[in-house]
Amino acid sequence: MRRLIRGLREVGMLGTLLLLATPLVPAHAQTAVTRDDVIAKLDHFETAADIDIPALRQQTAERSKSRGKNEPPPQKRPPIAPDLANLPTFNVDIQFDVDTPIVLPGSYQTVGRIADALNHASLLPYTFLIVGHIESTGRRENNVLLSQRRADAIRDILVNTFKVAPKRLQSVGLGEEQLLDPAHINAPVNNQLQIMTVAKVAETEPAAHPAPAAAAKKPAKKKH
């Protein structure tokens, strides 16, 4: 009997040691993003999207302030920009400091790989939209502002740190007005950012060369 108790104690101690030695994994850790993952999702451009980004920002801000009795709950709200669903899209988890647009150091590698993809020859002809989202927690209008600031932050890092041409990137924050998982309004997936291919880079016309100036005529000689 004593041997049995001693054996159980040893097993218990061993289990505890194994538990302590096992690295903790975040509950919603994502698979590491690769450049090729991003390219595969975004390199399917067909038709330019007719999206007025400033108008979409305004529309999102106004809808987030709705307080009517007939206002549907988050899981039943129609998407604020349904046409975005037709664009080539890459969804990504970027970790931010709580309630701020500050990107945590662990996510810089992910942003760098997105930049590698955007600067790859197959994606260089295109422009992209960075779309921010926030889960349905807190005030709707605050979520719109935070999602816009986070989308802007990613754009700034891509441009200033990883040298993606600024003319190729736009950003918009949709807050909780277009949840990625409407059935689970507080799910972490609703905090993801999306990178979307929206158009081809506008081609600049070569500068016209000025016509050569007409040669000045020599004055006629006077006859004597």
Q: Domains in the chain, ordered, with CATH?
A: 48-64+74-200 (3.30.1330.60)
Q: How far apart are CA 215 and CA 218, in angstroms?
A: 9
The 10s digit of each residue's pLDDT in 76-125 is 999 999 999 999 999 999 999 999 999 999 999 999 999 999 999 999 99
Check residue 14 and give its pLDDT.
40
Q: What are the C-alpha distances in Å from 20 to residues 10, 11, 23, 128, 197?
A: 15, 14, 8, 45, 45
Q: Is 27 exposed, middle or buried (0-12, 13-18, 19+ CB in 10 A)?
A: exposed
The 10s digit of each residue's pLDDT in 31-88 is 799 999 999 999 988 888 889 999 999 999 999 998 888 889 999 999 999 999 999 9
Q: How far apart are CA 96 and CA 29, in angstroms?
A: 14
pLDDT at residue 18 tops 90 = no
Check residue 150 and give its pLDDT.
98
**126-132 vs 89-92, strand pairing mode:** unpaired
CA 155 to chain centre: 8
Q: What is the mean pLDDT of residues 126-140?
A: 96
Average pLDDT, the chain: 85
Band (203; pLDDT cuts 50, 70, 90): confident
Q: How far apart are CA 203 and CA 190, in angstroms?
A: 36
pLDDT at residue 214 tops 60 = no
Check residue 220 and give its pLDDT.
56
For the question of whether the overall pTM of this predicted structure is more than 0.85, the answer is no
Band (202; pLDDT cuts 50, 70, 90): confident
